[in-house]
Amino acid sequence: MSLVTTFRVGGLTCHTLEGGRQRLDGGAMFGVVPKPLWSRRIAADDKNRIPLALRCLLVEHDDGLLLIDTGIGNKESEKFRDIYGVENTGTAGPTQLDDALAEIGFAAADVRYVVNTHLHFDHAGGNTFLPGDAPPEAEGRVAFPNATYVVQAADLEFGMQGNERIAASYLSRNFAPVVAAGLWRLLHGDEEVVPGVQAVLTPGHVPHHQSILISDAGETACFLGDLVPTTAHLPLPWIMGYDLEPLVTLENKRRLLTQAEAEGWILVFEHDPERGLGRVVREGKSFGFQAFES
């Protein structure tokens, strides 16, 4: 089975990369939405966990390959992998993300930009890796040695300061080695990363979350990150229990999806287990999924 779906945004070639799977508690993923409703869309296992993709996006750009998010990586213990149902082991490299890159003829060393929507472990875990001979407690090494890493400055500061509420999600060895290597480019609000690739603040899940717009020749795609993690989260009030500021999420969803529907954007859903690409259509006062047609 292919780990890559290729599509175009104007003259830019883009690839969704399947970086593996994880499983998270369905109740936490859907917050106040009752299980009889959300379970019609995504079935839970006997531990009440639902399957979630670890989908990344690679953009072939004149300034170099640009990768958005990096999955979970290979540094975590077997206990961690069992709790979160992680399945991401690779053959071309440490993780399945390496296999997806290899499928289209690339390797980690070819990537010139790594953009993190935020620094939760399932979005930035692949920023660093453990070599096979390293002890489990080792800090890890930078996974994309020729890349500039890009994130909101405030999100890096938020993760480094930490607190009891976020300690299990912001794991320092996913970003501290990048700090030590001096490879971060820190953004301050909405900024262009390279021509045609724009970071836009979409807070709520965490205070400094960003989504990424890719635009060329009048066409736009949006990598949503955790603003809308799956197609099941398109209805405006369907918001994760993990979100620190759910009412902020609500208004950012409303704003972004309204623009996406009006302008016909292609949307990339990072965690949907089956549907990685699509568009949105109006469904009354909310939004629904429309399959992507190139």
Segment 71-130, tens digit of pLDDT? 999 999 999 999 999 999 999 999 999 999 999 999 999 999 999 999 999 999 999 999
Block residue for tokens 């080792």: 138
- Give start and end residues of each alpha helix (H) in the chain: 26-30, 35-38, 78-83, 96-103, 121-124, 153-161, 176-181, 246-263
- pLDDT of 204 reads 98
Nearest by Cα to 173 from 117, 210, 130? 130
- Report the percentage of the chain scoring pLDDT > 70: 100
- Given a cut of 90, is residue 133 above it in pLDDT? no
Overall pTM surpassing 0.85 (yes/no): yes
Nearest by Cα to 263 from 286, 245, 280? 280
DSSP string across 242-278: T-S-HHHHHHHHHHHHHHHHHHT-EEE-SS-SS--EE
Kindly state the average pLDDT of the residues 148-154.
98
Would you kindly state where each structural domain of the chain is located, as residue ranges? 4-8+12-291
Per-residue pLDDT tens digits for 204-241:
999 999 999 999 999 999 999 999 999 999 999 999 99
**Matching CATH number, 4-8+12-291, of 3.40.640.10, 3.90.1300.10, 3.60.15.10, 3.40.140.10:** 3.60.15.10
Nearest by Cα to 73 from 148, 154, 134? 134
- pLDDT of 152 reads 98
- pLDDT of 175 reads 97
Q: How far is CA 148 from the centre of its chain?
A: 17
- pLDDT of 21 reads 98
Helices (H) and strands (E) in the chain, counts: 8, 16
Which pairs with CB-CB distance under 8 Å and at least 24 residues apart come from 152-155? 152/118, 152/186, 152/187, 152/188, 152/189, 152/199, 152/201, 152/208, 152/209, 152/210, 153/186, 153/187, 153/188, 154/188, 154/207, 154/208, 155/116, 155/118, 155/119, 155/206, 155/207, 155/208, 155/209, 155/210
Phi, psi (deg, nearest 5) at residue 81: -65, -35
